[in-house]
Structure 1
């Protein structure tokens, strides 16, 4: 049975996290927007290595060092990676922080697609990508829901997912706009 700690609570704080552009950069800006009931309560930031392996640790440090560390109950991400192929180990992050995760995408998740991209990246760059593949394997424990043109992978119950999806998506959109705007001087694009 899935844990559903958010079902009966009103005003759940969601931390939506997005990375800025990665072209010609070694590190990418990561912005977190803390939102509750569609009200922005705070902005967090950190940076991660482009195609690196520090996304999980950096996100954990970003939230733990903030005043929101005990208030955030859900982390929303645009897919499972930040800054290219810097994979977030969602299972590990959820356990360490005691939060639920929502991975939101416009495209239906396709089994094996991310793993193939990671293997190709590792081969092309002569890198060991085993940790990235372990992090990807953890995604298989998440349920997939389709809601108003977006796909959500999460460990939440379906009713909570559907109720919280609009807030999570809007917070994620804001995080994306802020990250891109700060990194390039102007925001543009879609998540």
Structure 2
């Protein structure tokens, strides 16, 4: 597993979508080398589906950036509604650490209740639990695979320039919102 200084990082967020939307949801990944934007990746996941881990694995592995990447950042553990990423499998598949970042502490009771209404909800809840404890680090909440709390804190402090959210995630959020709605919103 590559665990260097985490200079080359990709951060993913999903596009906003209407509550009534069914089908695929666009995702965007931005690649940073330190604080320099190096590139953009885009793909799709199924709304409330089960393909986010496979989709992200393929998107990253088939990119020209993969050989240089040292860390994957996710804006929350699910994309496209409740398409929960298996962060342990993603880390194993790519040979890279994965860090899930949330501005606010997720309400696990509410998430578990909502998952009871979603197809495959039990398996999705198991993936959230498998991701490990939600930890408060450097002003945000994280779950992690393949890196220590100390390494996570180092990454967050180095990449969070304009807020507590790391620049790759902040940029992915801005790009996704701008493309989907014609203008971006400031807060991921």
Calculate the TM-score normalised by the size of structure 2: 0.85
**SS state of the match for residue 156, structure 2?**
helix
Asked if structure 1 preserves the Cα contact closer than 8 Å seen for 2:2 and 2:70, the reply is no
Unmatched 5+ stretches in structure 2: 161-165
Structure 1 residue aligned with 2:100: 103
Distance change in 2, residues 1:73/1:189 (3 Å): same
Between the aligned partners of 1:46 and 1:4, the Cα distance in structure 2 is 24
Per-residue CA deviations over 1:124-177 (Å, capped at 9, x if unaligned) read xxx33333123222112x562321x32222232233222211426111010011
| Distance of 1:109 and 1:100 partners within structure 2 | 21
Closer, same or farther: CA 4–143 of 1 in aligned 2, 3 Å: farther
> 1:146 aligns to what?
137
Which consecutive residues of structure 1, in runs of 5 or more, have no partner in the other structure? none
Query: 1:177 matched to which residue of 2?
Result: 174
- SS of the equivalent of 2:90 reads helix
State TM-score, norm by structure 1: 0.84
Say whether the 8 Å CA contact 1:31–1:175 is kept in structure 2: yes
Q: Deviations over 1:29-85 (max 9, x none)?
A: 100001121111110000111111111111111101101122212111111101111
* 1:138 to 1:112, Cα distance in 2 relative to 1, 3 A: farther
2:9 pairs with 1:14: yes
For these two proteins, the number of residue pairs brought into alignment is 179
Do the aligned residues in 1 keep the contact of 2:99 with 2:143 (CA within 8 Å)? yes
Aligned position for 2:34 = 37
CA distance in 1, matches of 2:115, 2:141: 21
Structure 2 residue aligned with 1:58: 55
Cα pair 2:137 2:153 within 8 Å, conserved: no
Moved more, 130-139 or 89-98: 130-139
Q: Could you tell me which residue of structure 1 aligns to residue 124 of structure 2? A: 132
> Is residue 145–residue 158 contact of structure 1 (8 Å, CA) maintained in 2?
no
